[in-house]
Amino acid sequence: MHKSVLLQEVIEIFNPQPGQKYIDATINGGGHAKAILERIRPEGKLLGIDLDCDLISELKEEKNESLQLACGNFADIVKISKEYNFEKVNGILLDLGFSSYHIEKSGRGFSFMRDEPLDMRYRTAVSGNGSKIKTALEILNNEDEREIGRILREYGEERFAARIAKVIVEQRKIKPITSTFQLVEVVERSTPRWYHRRSIHPATKTFQALRIAVNRELKNLEKALEDSINILAGHGKIIVISFHSLEDRLVKNFFKEKEKEQKLKILAKKPIRPTPLEIKINPRSRRAKLRTALKII
Per-residue pLDDT of 66-89, as tens digits, reads 999 999 999 999 999 999 999 899
Where is the domain boundary, 198, 215, 232? Answer: 215
Average pLDDT of the chain is 92
Q: Are residues 60 and 186 in the same domain?
A: no
Contact of 191 with 164, CB cutoff 8 Å: yes
Q: Are residues 13 and 160 in the same domain?
A: no
Question: Is residue 130's pLDDT more than 60?
Answer: no
Q: Are residues 165 and 83 in the same domain?
A: no
pLDDT over 70, % of the chain: 93
Range of the domain at 211: 128-215
pLDDT for position 29: 83
* DSSP track, 28-46: TTSHHHHHHHHHHTTT-EE
Residue 41, domain CATH: 3.40.50.150
Q: pTM of the full predicted structure?
A: 0.89
Q: Are residues 97 and 14 in the same domain?
A: yes
Q: Are residues 174 and 27 in the same domain?
A: no
Q: Are residues 65 and 149 in the same domain?
A: no
Q: Are residues 191 and 256 in the same domain?
A: no
Name the helix (H) or strand (E) containing 210.
helix 204-215
| Residue 114 within a domain | no
The per-residue pLDDT for range 208-239, each reduced to its tens digit, is 999 999 999 999 999 999 999 999 999 999 99
Q: Are residues 238 and 275 in the same domain?
A: yes
Chain centre distance of CA 173: 33
pLDDT for position 51: 86
Length of the chain: 297
pLDDT for position 37: 96
| Residue 122 within a domain | no
Name the helix (H) or strand (E) containing 231.
helix 217-231
The per-residue pLDDT for range 139-159, each reduced to its tens digit, is 999 999 999 999 999 999 999
Cross-strand partners of 293? 238, 266
pLDDT for position 128: 45
Euclidean distance between CA atoms 148 and 172, whole angstroms: 13
Q: Are residues 195 and 143 in the same domain?
A: yes
From the number of C-beta atoms within 10 Å of its C-beta (0-12, 13-18, 19+), residue 21 rates as buried
Burial 84-99 (b: 16+ CB within 10 A, else e): eebeebbbbbbbbbbb
Q: Is the peptide bond before 42 cis (omega within 30 degrees of 0)?
A: yes
Question: Is residue 1's pLDDT more than 50?
Answer: no
| Residue 40 within a domain | yes
Name the helix (H) or strand (E) containing 242.
strand 232-242
Question: Is residue 129's pLDDT more than 80?
Answer: no
| Residue 189 within a domain | yes
Half-sphere exposure of 49 (CA within 13 A, CB side): 24
Euclidean distance between CA atoms 167 and 206, whole angstroms: 13
CB atoms within 10 A of CB 22: 26
The per-residue pLDDT for range 255-270, each reduced to its tens digit, is 999 999 999 999 999 9
The per-residue pLDDT for range 183-206, each reduced to its tens digit, is 999 999 999 999 999 989 999 999
Where is the domain boundary, 184, 215, 246? Answer: 215
Q: Are residues 242 and 203 in the same domain?
A: no
| Residue 116 within a domain | no
Half-sphere exposure of 192 (CA within 13 A, CB side): 4
| Residue 121 within a domain | no
State how many domains the chain has: 2
Contact of 186 with 172, CB cutoff 8 Å: no
The per-residue pLDDT for range 33-69, each reduced to its tens digit, is 999 999 999 999 999 999 888 888 888 887 788 999 9
Q: Are residues 95 and 226 in the same domain?
A: yes
Q: Are residues 171 and 230 in the same domain?
A: no
pLDDT for position 284: 83
| Residue 118 within a domain | no
Where is the domain boundary, 191, 215, 239? Answer: 215
